[in-house]
């Protein structure tokens, strides 16, 4: 490490042990750092967004979830509390600055620029996950059979032409499946869906909760220390980090990573950066025990309903929805029921009266910035603190490369991609 600005041995506290924190820990260990993982939840906890997502490891998911002309739809989002995107009225004033910036980022040229930056982070997601998963003894959890984007017809696919055009410009390839070809691949899917594209370069994780537990066990087996607790800030003296502050006292260290998902904003402020970060709530319904009658052979995004259906080890998972409400607002489980009902529409082979015991609902909080790009890079107040959060809809997939980059920053090396678009100082 002779060419590093940092002296070794170096001890990093990684705040938050979701996908991003765990990947950062593993890659920091590879770089020879001493690592402490700090989280108030257990690894694989249902509270982390990394637990209940749709499992996609999709290097082609580079179009931010904004659409040109989206501002016209905002009144509808407010009026329909159970629509695929909704905003709770009471939360609107708080959300407004984030929302305005989000709407401003919906211009076509901005989307192109964002997609280019996200591609640099997401590319090879499946391969990077395979590599770490295999080391962690969890290679069986990573499936490499690609993913589908399903439409009613070619006409509906063509309505998405802008996004696919941008992907094409970035060199992303896909195969079209129409009519019988789609039926052969997905015999359980309602035949009303007659067109799909298959993206071969993508993969998925068959059980994100178990994957997180495996990564955590692997990091600990290699010497990472696990501390149960909640970070509240930092002690910085003369520009150098001395300790992470927690509710139970200080953790002395030379470096820290903020990877606390949707709860990262206050910690970022303590590190000198005012970032715009919202908890973008999503839901899933998981249906156990009916895979013989109805399954998604390939994970599929169904544009019409804005959901992803993935056959997980524990059942068929339908995930999606965007709800803006305060962090602590109670879950609206009617949204879980909507996910379940979409499953019944997509897969006619499911029994119409699903026993309640077969269905489980989950609420998750995506850490989302208004421009759809994460924050990755050194903090303004101190280069010993690294930002690593804000991956929104693609945080599982992007966690592997993010972890590598975080480790490069902790070691004082040049990061492998240009981090300017991801600067926490851009807000
Ligand atoms: C419905 C849904 C579907 C999704 N589908 C996909 C998908 O298919 N593919 C994909 O790539 N992404 C998907 N995502 C997004 C993905 O789940 C997130 O982007 C990703 O999990 C974020 O990981 P993280 O490590 O940043 O945060 P988290 O997984 O939320 O982890 C943050 C951790 O920090 C801890 N923490 C918080 N505050 C503190 C503190 N002060 N001190 C200590 N610890 C703290 C928390 O306890 C938690 O364990 C989906 C999300 C949702 C909601």
For 219-229, the pLDDT digits (tens) are: 999 999 999 99
The confidence band for 81, taking pLDDT boundaries of 50, 70 and 90, is confident
Q: Which atom of ligand 1 is nearest to 319's Cα?
A: 1
Does residue 293 have a pLDDT over 90? no
Query: What is the C-alpha to C-alpha distance for residues 21 and 212, in angstroms, rounded to an integer?
Result: 10
What residue has token string 């063509």? Answer: 158
What residue spans of 295-394 are helical by DSSP H? 334-346
Residue 85, strand partner residues: 322
Taking the centre of ligand 1 as the mean of its atom positions, its distance from the CA of residue 234, in whole angstroms, is 22
Which domain covers residue 17, as residue numbers? 1-66+109-142+205-274+371-427
| Residue 66, pLDDT score | 81
Instruction: For ligand 1, pick from 18, 51, 211 the residue to mutate: most ligand atoms within 8 Å of CB.
Output: 18
User: How far, in Å, CA of 285 to CA of 305, rounded?
Assistant: 14
- From the CA of 398, give the closest atom in ligand 1: 11
pLDDT in tens, 308-348: 999 999 999 999 989 999 999 999 999 999 999 999 999 99
Distance CA 214, CA 309 (A): 24
Residue nearest to atom 35 of ligand 1 (CA): 16
154 in a domain, yes or no?
no
Ligand 1: centre distance to CA 365 (Å): 7
In a domain, 81, yes or no: no
Q: Is 64 in the pocket of ligand 1 (CB under 6 A)?
A: no
Query: Which pLDDT value is given to residue 331?
Result: 95
Q: How far is the CA of 180 from the centre of ligand 1 (A)?
A: 38
Q: Which residue has the tokens 């995930």?
A: 319
160 C-alpha to ligand 1 centroid (Å): 28
The number of domains in the chain is 1
Q: Is residue 345 part of a domain?
A: no
Residue 92: pLDDT above 60?
A: yes
The 3-state secondary structure of 8-31 reads CCCEEEEECCCHHHHHHHHHHHHC
How far is the centre of ligand 1, averaged over its atoms, from the C-alpha of 238 (Å)? Answer: 33
Give the span between the Cα atoms of 162 and 237, in whole angstroms.
Answer: 49
Evaluate the CA torsion angle 26, 28, 30, 32 in order and state its sign. Answer: negative
391 lines ligand 1 (CB under 6 A): yes
Lowest mean pLDDT among 61-70, 169-178, 230-239, 406-415: 61-70
Share of the chain above pLDDT 90, in %: 88
- Nearest residue CA, atom 38 of ligand 1? 260
3-class SS of residue 201: coil
Exposure of 180 in the CB half-sphere (CA atoms within 13 A):
0
CATH number at residue 250: 3.50.50.60
Quick: pLDDT tens for 104-144.
Answer: 999 999 999 999 999 999 999 999 999 999 999 999 999 99
- Whether 296 shows a pLDDT value over 80: the answer reads yes
Mean pLDDT (the chain) is 95
Q: Quick check: CB of 231 below 6 Å from ligand 1?
A: yes
Q: Any residues with CB less than 8 A from the CB of 93 and at least 6 apart, and which?
A: none
Q: Which residue, among 200, 198, 62, 202, has the nearest Cα to 130 in the 3D structure?
A: 202
Looking up tokens 């070809």 gives 181
Least confident of 14-23, 60-69, 315-324: 60-69
Mean per-residue pLDDT for 167-173? 98
Give, rounded to a whole angstrom, the gap between the first and last alpha carbons of the chain: 33
**Residue of the CA atom closest to atom 18 of ligand 1:** 395
Ligand 1 midpoint to CA 348 (Å): 32
pLDDT surpasses 90 at 79: no
- Please name the residues in contact with 145: beta carbons below 8 A apart, sequence gap of 6 or more: 203, 298
Is 359 a member of any domain? no
> Whose CA is closest to atom 21 on ligand 1?
50
Tell me, in angstroms, the distance from the centre of ligand 1 to residue 20's CA. Answer: 8
3 band by pLDDT with thresholds 50, 70 and 90: low
Tell whether ligand 1 has an atom less than 6 A from the beta carbon of residue 16. Answer: yes
Which of 13, 14, 15, 16 has the most ligand 1 atoms within 8 A of CB, as the residue to mutate?
16
**What separation in Å is there between the alpha carbon of 364 and the centre of ligand 1?**
8
The answer, yes or no, to whether any atom of ligand 1 lies below 6 A from the CB of 49, is yes
Q: Is the model's pLDDT at 2 over the cut of 80?
A: no
Residue 48 lies in a domain: yes
Q: Compute the average pLDDT of residues 3-28.
A: 94
| pLDDT top residue among 237 and 65 | 237
At 207, is the secondary structure helix, strand, or coil?
Answer: coil
Is 54 within a domain? yes
Residue 419 within a domain: yes
Q: How far is CA 77 from CA 55, 134, 280, 288, 321, in A?
A: 26, 43, 14, 31, 12
Predicted pLDDT at 209: 97
Q: Is the peptide bond before 330 cis (omega within 30 degrees of 0)?
A: no
In a domain? residue 226 = yes
Q: Tell me the three state secondary structure of residue 39.
A: strand
Distance 363 CA to ligand 1 centre (A): 11
């Amino acid at each position: 490490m002779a060419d590093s600005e940092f002296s070794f041995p170096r001890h990093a506290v990684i705040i938050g042990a979701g996908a991003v924190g765990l990947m950062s820990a593993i890659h920091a260990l590879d770089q020879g750092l001493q690592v402490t993982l700090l989280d108030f939840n257990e690894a694989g906890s249902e509270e982390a967004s990394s637990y209940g997502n749709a499992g996609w490891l999709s290097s082609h998911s580079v179009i931010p979830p904004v659409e040109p002309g989206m501002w016209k739809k905002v009144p509808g989002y407010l009026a329909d509390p159970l629509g695929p995107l909704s905003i709770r009225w009471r939360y609107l004033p708080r959300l407004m600055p984030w929302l305005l910036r989000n709407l401003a980022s919906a211009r076509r040229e901005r989307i192109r620029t964002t997609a280019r930056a996200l591609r640099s982070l997401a590319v090879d997601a499946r391969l990077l996950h395979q590599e770490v998963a295999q080391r962690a003894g969890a290679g069986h959890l990573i499936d490499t059979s690609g993913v589908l984007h399903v439409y009613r017809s070619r006409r509906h696919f063509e309505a998405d032409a802008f996004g696919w055009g941008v992907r094409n410009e970035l060199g992303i390839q896909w195969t079209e499946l129409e009519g019988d070809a789609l039926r052969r691949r997905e015999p359980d899917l309602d035949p009303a869906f007659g067109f799909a594209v298959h993206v071969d370069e993508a993969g998925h994780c068959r059980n994100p909760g178990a994957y997180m537990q495996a990564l955590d066990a692997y990091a600990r087996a290699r010497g990472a220390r696990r501390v149960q607790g909640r970070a509240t800030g930092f002690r910085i003296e003369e520009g150098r980090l001395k300790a992470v502050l927690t509710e139970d006292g200080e953790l002395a260290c030379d470096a820290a990573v903020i990877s606390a998902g949707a709860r990262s904003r206050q910690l970022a402020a303590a590190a000198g950066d005012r970032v715009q970060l919202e908890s973008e709530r999503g839901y899933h319904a998981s249906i156990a025990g009916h895979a013989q009658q109805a399954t998604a052979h390939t994970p599929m995004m169904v544009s019409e309903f804005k959901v992803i259906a993935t056959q997980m080890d524990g059942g068929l998972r339908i995930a999606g929805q965007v709800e803006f409400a305060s962090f602590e607002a109670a879950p609206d489980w009617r949204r879980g029921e909507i996910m379940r009902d979409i499953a019944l529409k997509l897969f006619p082979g499911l029994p119409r009266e699903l026993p309640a015991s077969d269905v489980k609902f989950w609420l998750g909080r995506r850490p989302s910035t208004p421009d759809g790009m994460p924050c990755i890079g050194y903090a303004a107040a101190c280069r010993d603190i690294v930002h690593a959060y804000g991956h929104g809809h693609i945080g599982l997939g992007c966690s592997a490369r993010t972890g590598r980059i975080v480790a490069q920053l902790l070691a004082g090396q040049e990061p492998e991609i240009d981090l300017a678009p991801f600067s926490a100082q851009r807000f």
